[in-house]
């Protein structure tokens, strides 16, 4: 499933450069994750990097965008052409 950034985000920006899919952008009030680009870092890292570096633990699973690891791997292939 894709991740989302909760309202606890302090807009520090440490998550944005960590995303291998460039799914994280600065929103109006806080950073946001595009669920169409988020693969939970499958194929790149063992853990989602945004969640690993977030100082306030606001990168959490997005229950509205549930996907299997296989679906996330397919999404990665579509995004990166691999």
d(CA 59, CA 62): 9
Tell me: pLDDT of 66 over 90: yes
Per-residue pLDDT reduced to its tens digit, 15-28:
999 999 999 999 99
CA atoms of 13 and 1, how far apart (whole Å): 22
Domain containing residue 8: CATH number: 3.30.70.20
> Does the predicted TM-score (pTM) go above 0.75?
yes
DSSP string, 7-70: TT-----SSGGG-TT--EEE-SSSEEE-TTT--TTTTT-SS-HHHHH-TT--EEE-TTS---HH
Domain count, the chain: 1
Q: For residue 30, how far is the Cα from the chain centroid? A: 14
Domain that holds residue 41: 3-80
């Amino acid at each position: 499933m894709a991740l989302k950034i909760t309202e606890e985000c302090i807009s520090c920006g440490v998550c944005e450069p960590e995303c291998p899919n460039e799914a994280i952008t600065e929103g109006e009030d806080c950073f946001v994750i595009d669920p169409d680009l988020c693969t939970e870092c499958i194929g790149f890292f063992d853990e989602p990097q945004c969640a690993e570096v977030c100082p306030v633990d606001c990168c959490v699973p997005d229950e509205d965008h549930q996907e299997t690891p296989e679906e996330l791997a397919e999404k990665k292939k579509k995004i990166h052409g691999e």
